[in-house]
Structure 1
Amino acid sequence: MYNLYSLRIKRPFVSTKHKFYVLIVCLLIGSSITADENVAPATIHDKKGNWNIQWGYNRDYYTQSDINFRGPGYNYSLKSVDARDKPESFKADVYLNPTKFEIPQYNLKFSYFFTDRFFLSFGEDHMKYVVTQGQPVKYSGYIDPGVIAKNQMALSTEAALFIYLFPNHVQEMAGYHGGDQTIALTPDILKYEHTDGLNYLFLDFGWITPLYTSSDGLSGLSLVSSIGGGPVVCRSDVRVLGKGQNNNFHLSGYGVSGYVATRYEFSRTYFLEFGGKGGYIDLTDVLTTGGSNRASQNFGFLELILSGGIAI
C-alpha cells in the first residue's frame, strides 16, 4: 500500500527544487543580459583587426629634373627639365567603366589596423609624367654624329615632320657640350613620357588621430598620416633624337614618401578622404629606344588625392 502522507511530503520538496533550478537559470540569463548591456557599442575608433580598402584619383606636380641619356655612341644630360601630369578629362565611359580603370591617374590602397590607431598599408599610385614640349634646356655630354644619322633612319612621325621643316636643329646636339648650350625640346630632340604609368608601389606605416566624433560614435573627422616607400614601375614612351618606342612595363627605380589626409567616416563603414602625398623618386633604369639604351633621373613629387573607401 502506498504511503499517501509521505508522497504529499515529497511533492512540495520536488516543487521547491524545480523552482530553485528555474531561479538559477533566470539569474544566469539576467547576468548575461546585464553583461551584454555593459559592453560599449562599437564606434569608428574601434579599428583593431579591420581592413580598409580605398580607391581614388590624383593630380601630380613634379620638381625639375636632370635627365641623363646613355647608349652606344652617346652619354649626355638635359638640365632642369620641366614635366607635368596628364589627367584624363572626365568622361562617364572612362571613370564609371570598370574595364577602363587604369586610364585615369588613380590610387588604390589596402590598410590593416593592428591596433585601434596604427596600421600598415600597401597599394599603388598610378601617376603620369610628361616632359613639356618646346621648353628650352641646357645640356652637356657627348653625342656621336653617327648616332643622329642612324636615328634618322627610323624616325617617328612627329620627329620626321619637324626634321623636314627644321633640318639643322637636331644637328646642334652632335659632338661634345660643356653645359652652356641651350636647345628647345621639340619632337626631333625628345619625347619623354611615363603615361602608361609612373607606378609607385608602396608599403606604408601609418596612424590615425581623431579630431571630432559624433555623439553616437558612428561618424567623425580624423587626421591620417603615413610614411613609407617602395619600387617604381614605369611604362615609358620615349623618342631620343627622333627614334624610340613605347616600352614595356619595367622596374625603373624606387620612391619614398609621406602622406597626410583628412578623413570623414560615416556609418562606421564608409569614409571619404582628401590628402596630399609628397616624396622623392629616383629612376635609375628607364627604358628608352631599345637594346642597352637607357635614361635616368630623380625628382620630387606632390600628389593631391581624393579617395573613398570601406572598412571591413
Structure 2
Amino acid sequence: MKKYYLFVFLLVFSKKLSAQQNITTSVNRPKIGRSIFSNELKRNFSRKGDFFVMWGYNHSWYAKSDINFKGPGYDFTLRDVVANDRQTKLSWKYLEPSSLSIPQFNFHFGYFIKDNYSISLGWDHMKYVMDIPQKVKIDGHIDATVSEPGIPTGRYAGVYNGEMLEVGPDMLRFEHTDGLNYASAELERYDDIWVAYSQRTSLTMETGIGAGLVVPRTDAHLFDVGKNNYWNIAGYGVSAKLGFKFYILKGLYLQNSTKVGYIDLTKIHTTGRNDIDGASQKIKYIQNYTVLGFQF
C-alpha cells in the first residue's frame, strides 16, 4: 500500500515539475517573427537587436529614357536613349583595399528593430553609360552656337519635332560612371524558408523598400565641351527589392537580391558651366547584387 502511495506521489510531482518546465520554456522562448513559409523547424532565437554590415557587387539594366539638355541657345530632348552599365573586368581590383570602390559595389549596414524587420542605410554604386553613336528621336531646338562663351554646334543646329537623329561623339558623351550613386534608407522584412537542426545554418527570404538621394558624378561633353564633373545631389530615387540570404554560420551570410528602382534627376552637370548648362532625366532600372554580410 505504501508503495502505491509513493508511486502516486512521484507521478503527481513529475507532472508538476514538467508543467513548471513548460511554463519556464514558454516564458524564455524568444518571440520570433512569423514566416509565410510552413517550415517545420523554426529558429529558437531572435534576431531583434542585431546589427549587420554587408559588401558586394552589382550588375544593372536600364530602361530607355528621355534626356533633356537645356542652356543658353538650346533646349532639346533625346527620346528613348539606350544606356548600359560598365562592369569592371574580374581582376585583383575586387580585392585590393585601395581599389574597392572602382567596381560597381553595394555597401549597407543596418539594425533589426524586430526579429523579422530591419532598417538599413546604404550606398549603391552603379554606372550608367549612354551608347554612342545611336539613333534617337529629338524634340526642341539647337542654335548655331550655344552656352556662354559660345560653342558651335555645326550640323546639329536646327529645330526638331520628333525627327530621327544619329547622336555621334562630336555632339555628346554622357555617362554617370563614378557613378550613379544611390544613397538610401531601407526597410526590410525576413521570412525563414529553411532552418537547419543545428540552428546555425538557414535560408531566409528578404523583401524591402527604400528611398534616398542620388549623387552622380557625371562625365559629359556637349559639342566637345565638358568635363568629368564633381559629385552633386542631382535628384532622388525609390526602390523595392527581393532576395535570399543563406546563413553559412549564425552570423555570416551570403545574399543575392534583385532591386527595381526609379530615379528622377533634375540637376545633372554637363559642360561644367553649372550655373547655365544642365540636363535632366528619369531612369528606371533593375539591379542584381551579390554580397557577403556579417550579423552581430
Change (3 A) 1:135 1:287: same
The one of 151, 156, 159 aligned to 1:176: 159
Structure 1 residue 143: Cα displacement: 1.2
Structure 1 residue 59: Cα displacement: 0.3
Counterpart of 2:183? 201
Counterpart of 1:11? none
2:205·2:243 contact (CA, 8 Å) conserved in 1? yes
Structure 1 SS opposite 2:197: coil
- Kindly provide the amino acid, as one letter, of the partner of residue 284 in structure 1: T
Matched, 1:211 2:193: yes
Structure 1 residue 44: Cα displacement: 7.9
The whole-number CA distance in structure 1 between the counterparts of 2:242 and 2:99 is 28
1:198·1:232 contact (CA, 8 Å) conserved in 2? yes
2:29·2:44 contact (CA, 8 Å) conserved in 1? no
Choose 183-192 or 278-287, whichever is displaced more.
Answer: 183-192
The whole-number CA distance in structure 1 between the counterparts of 2:167 and 2:256 is 35
Change (3 A) 1:44 1:82: farther
Structure 2 SS opposite 1:251: coil
- Kindly provide the amino acid, as one letter, of the partner of residue 97 in structure 2: P
Change (3 A) 1:191 1:44: farther
- Kindly provide the amino acid, as one letter, of the partner of residue 57 in structure 1: Y
Counting only pairs closer than 5 Å after superposition, residues 11-22 of structure 1 correspond to structure 2 as none
Counterpart of 1:83? 83
TM-score (norm 1): 0.79
Count residues in correspondence.
Answer: 259
TM-score (norm 2): 0.83
Counterpart of 1:23? none
Counting only pairs closer than 5 Å after superposition, residues 246-285 of structure 1 correspond to structure 2 as 246-285=228-267
1:44·1:268 contact (CA, 8 Å) conserved in 2? no
Structure 1 residue 266: Cα displacement: 2.4
1:194·1:235 contact (CA, 8 Å) conserved in 2? yes
- Kindly provide the amino acid, as one letter, of the partner of residue 177 in structure 1: Y
The whole-number CA distance in structure 2 between the counterparts of 1:55 and 1:234 is 20
- Higher-Rg member (1/2): 1
The whole-number CA distance in structure 1 between the counterparts of 2:185 and 2:151 is 41
Gaps of 5+ in 1: 1-34, 153-169
C-alpha deviations, 1:197-234, integer Å up to 9, x for none? 10000101111000000012111101011101100001
Matched, 1:115 2:97: no
Q: RMSD of the TM alignment (CA)? A: 2.1
Counterpart of 1:69? 69
Change (3 A) 1:83 1:44: farther
Structure 1 residue 138: Cα displacement: 1.1
Counterpart of 1:7? none
Counterpart of 1:95? 94
The whole-number CA distance in structure 2 between the counterparts of 1:99 and 1:252 is 27
The whole-number CA distance in structure 2 between the counterparts of 1:40 and 1:183 is 68
Counterpart of 1:56? 56
Structure 1 SS opposite 2:150: helix
Report the identity percentage. 36
